[in-house]
Structure 1
Amino acid sequence: MPFISVIVPVYNVEKYITRCVESLTGQSFQDYEILLIDDGSTDKSGILCDEIEKGYDEVKTYHKRNGGLASARNYGLKCAEGKYVVFVDSDDWVTDDFLEFIYNHLNANPVDILKYGFQRVSDNKLGEVIVPYYDEGIYKKAQIKSDILPGAIGPIQLFNYDKNALMSACTCAYSTSFLKKNNISFVSERKILNEDHLFNFHALLCADKVEVTHKILYLYDFREGSLSKCYINQMVERKIELIKTYKNLLDKYKVFSEFEEEYYSQCVDSFYACITNECGNWGKNRKFKEISKKVYGILKNPNCKMALKKCKHNNLTLKGYIIYYLMKFKMSKSIVWLYIKMKG
């Protein structure tokens, strides 16, 4: 049994997959396996995966019908044989000490989840460093509930993203047995949005012990054309499905009453993301009136109205208060105008 299984979902990334794998195979730590999950690629990615597999005993390639990122990761989880599992997206890469650092920490102090930081890279230039906002150290069940879960369920402060809970699956190492024991898997991004956040949310609700480090181990290629920079279709419907699933999990683990404000803050943040998704499409054959109408429709949603009423909104910045009250009073035209002015 390898100590670490590295799951790499692959879909149409022929320009990047070699860089990703070489960042893993070039490490000093050797007790690992790499699972390349070709998710029905239509370019040469699948062929490249097969060629890479021939050169390394640690690399295994699997081909499957296209099902999306969540489907590929879940497939990898079923095949993983390692004691711990990590996820690396095929267009990203890792630091030289990625595997060794994870091994040293988890071998010395076994935990359910190890959280670490990442750095953005844009046009081959190192950018913003992002680490979990909580202090470094090992958190047991009670501390997870008091110190980590509130910021994982909802933003610490609405409309302020300086404190990052780091809910990406690519910034965590997980105990494989822990994930399987608690039936934690990814929900398809074709059904919901923020499948990483939901996966980690579920994991944190179940975890008995979590370690947090501010060490940077992951390099995220933030480039034009990436999913995070695209207009998202059917975002409202998928966000609503997401927050329903959050609620179901909080009810399942009987903690909804303890985290009600945080939950509704997450709902408000989700609807605000839908609004910025519409506003961000300004100038792409879409007129002010059309976008304002879309935003007004979001603000009229009963789930949005309920969330604005019940969320935590007594600690906002001036900018936060402005956004909150514009949303509460459905001032869609003002929201769109302000967004365009701020971005323009």
Structure 2
Amino acid sequence: MAKVTIVVPIYNVGKYLKKCLDSIINQTFDDFEVLLINDGSTDDSGAICDEYKNIDQRIRVMHTSNQGSGEARNLGMDEAKGDYIYFCDPDDWIELDLINDNYRLSSKNSADIIIFGVNNYMYDSQKQSYIYTGKRELGSEHLPFRQEFPILYKKGLASAVWNKLYKLSYLKQHNCRFPQYTQGQDWSFNLLVYRDVENVIYNDKNYYNYVKYKNNTAVTRYNKDKPYIRERLFEEFKSLLDHWEIDENCSKDLLYKCLLGDVLGEMRNNFHLDSPDKLNEKYKKCIKLLNNKQVIEIIGDNKARSEGFTEKVMSTFIRRKFVVGIMLEAYSRQILRSNFKSIVYDIKNFMIKKS
């Protein structure tokens, strides 16, 4: 019986998959199993999975029709035999001591979840190299989880599954499953996990290497389901805060931050270059969203909120219904993001090396 199950949902990531799998099979801890769920890939991902299965007997491969990463992870949970379970994305990679360090800490403390830090990278397709862009560290006082949660949320460490190791029996006891959303499955899953969790521990070290792939991810592609997903995830988040009976001011602050990000995401999606809508239809969708009662109530009263410059500008655009400003920001992000950010990170890394 393996102590840890590592689940990797896989769909058309043949270009990056070997780097991920090498980081898994070379872990310093060896008492684990790997479940590779090939979710109907049409590239060479399935063949790579089978190749690695022949290399390492700890690997099991399941080839399925395409149902999405959420269902792939659910299948992994159903098939898992480990005491703990870890979900890794196939286009990222992990540090070689991730499983060893976090399993030993978790089992020693009988933790339901252990949370750790993340390194951020951007992939330069021209140079076929990874550019380091910063990190997301815990670096807090390690308070009881419900007090720690607002800090984790604002640092971007609460929503993903790949910077956490979960006790499998806890997930099954509380019927924690991934939804079939085309985006936001991780966040929805974690909102279920967090409802009644008590024993959460933290590891300050960064073990996960997260990669942005320049306009080629589920987050940056146009998604026609965005309005539905936004509404569902916001209600799930609000339900969690209500269940916790969290402090009113803290709750308002978290809901504001959540809704602001969601509304901006939906409006940027409306103005996506791949959207089939005509410009006047995109404009009408944005106006309808900005006139939403919930948006007006939660984002309209933001004078006391602490925000960065970009967040402040965009929230002002939303409150004043300045759709043109939002449209220009959305288009500029898509047109300039890839090349501009690469140049900025190249300069930054060059200056670091020179100093």
Q: TM-score, normalised by structure 1?
A: 0.83
Q: 1:127 aligns with which of 126, 132, 148?
A: 132
Whether 1:331 aligns to 2:336 is no
Alignment partners' CA distance in 2, 1:27 and 1:210:
24
Taking a change above 3 Å as real, the CA distance of residues 125 and 15 of structure 1, as seen in their structure-2 partners, is closer
Alignment partners' CA distance in 1, 2:312 and 2:212:
30
Q: 1:180 aligns with which of 169, 172, 181?
A: 172
Whether 1:238 aligns to 2:229 is yes
Q: 1:308 aligns with which of 296, 299, 304?
A: 299
Alignment partners' CA distance in 2, 1:53 and 1:212:
32
2:103 alignment partner in structure 1 = 103
SS at match of 1:169: coil
Taking a change above 3 Å as real, the CA distance of residues 44 and 282 of structure 1, as seen in their structure-2 partners, is closer
**Contact 1:112–1:210 (Cα < 8 Å) also in 2:** yes
Alignment partners' CA distance in 2, 1:309 and 1:125:
40
Alignment partners' CA distance in 1, 2:56 and 2:328:
55
Alignment partners' CA distance in 2, 1:285 and 1:185:
33
Taking a change above 3 Å as real, the CA distance of residues 73 and 310 of structure 1, as seen in their structure-2 partners, is farther
Whether 1:272 aligns to 2:264 is yes
**Contact 1:239–1:270 (Cα < 8 Å) also in 2:** yes
2:340 alignment partner in structure 1 = none
The Cα of 1:171 is off from its aligned counterpart by: 0.9
The Cα of 1:58 is off from its aligned counterpart by: 0.6
1:27 alignment partner in structure 2 = 27
Alignment partners' CA distance in 1, 2:264 and 2:246:
22
Q: Which moved more, 1:21-30 or 1:119-128?
A: 119-128
Q: Which moved more, 1:230-239 or 1:313-322?
A: 313-322
Overall identity of the aligned pairs, in %: 25
The Cα of 1:168 is off from its aligned counterpart by: 0.9
2:118 alignment partner in structure 1 = 118
Superposed CA deviations along residues 247-303 of structure 1, whole A, max 9, x for unmatched, are 34445x352774641234422321122123334x36989887665444223212333
Whether 1:211 aligns to 2:201 is yes
SS at match of 2:111: coil
Taking a change above 3 Å as real, the CA distance of residues 255 and 96 of structure 1, as seen in their structure-2 partners, is same
Q: Which amino acid aligns with 1:213?
A: N
Alignment partners' CA distance in 2, 1:283 and 1:71:
26
**Contact 2:35–2:59 (Cα < 8 Å) also in 1:** yes
The Cα of 1:90 is off from its aligned counterpart by: 1.4
1:202 alignment partner in structure 2 = 192
2:344 alignment partner in structure 1 = none
2:18 alignment partner in structure 1 = 18
Q: TM-score, normalised by structure 2?
A: 0.81
Superposed CA deviations along residues 109-133 of structure 1, whole A, max 9, x for unmatched, are 2311111122233232241233244
SS at match of 2:178: coil
Superposed CA deviations along residues 53-106 of structure 1, whole A, max 9, x for unmatched, are 122221111122221010000110111111111111112211122222223322
Q: Which moved more, 1:258-267 or 1:111-120?
A: 258-267
The Cα of 1:314 is off from its aligned counterpart by: 3.3
The Cα of 1:246 is off from its aligned counterpart by: 2.6
Superposed CA deviations along residues 214-252 of structure 1, whole A, max 9, x for unmatched, are 31211223223222332332312221122123334445x
Whether 1:220 aligns to 2:210 is yes
Alignment partners' CA distance in 2, 1:320 and 1:91:
29
Q: Which amino acid aligns with 2:314?
A: I
Flag structure 2 segments of 5+ consecutive residues without an equivalent: 337-355
**Contact 1:264–1:312 (Cα < 8 Å) also in 2:** no
Taking a change above 3 Å as real, the CA distance of residues 177 and 325 of structure 1, as seen in their structure-2 partners, is same
Q: Which amino acid aligns with 2:146?
A: K
1:54 alignment partner in structure 2 = 54
Superposed CA deviations along residues 204-223 of structure 1, whole A, max 9, x for unmatched, are 22211212223121122322
Taking a change above 3 Å as real, the CA distance of residues 312 and 241 of structure 1, as seen in their structure-2 partners, is farther
Alignment partners' CA distance in 2, 1:106 and 1:198:
23
Q: CA RMSD in A?
A: 2.9
Q: Which moved more, 1:180-189 or 1:310-319?
A: 310-319
Alignment partners' CA distance in 2, 1:189 and 1:339:
23
SS at match of 1:85: strand
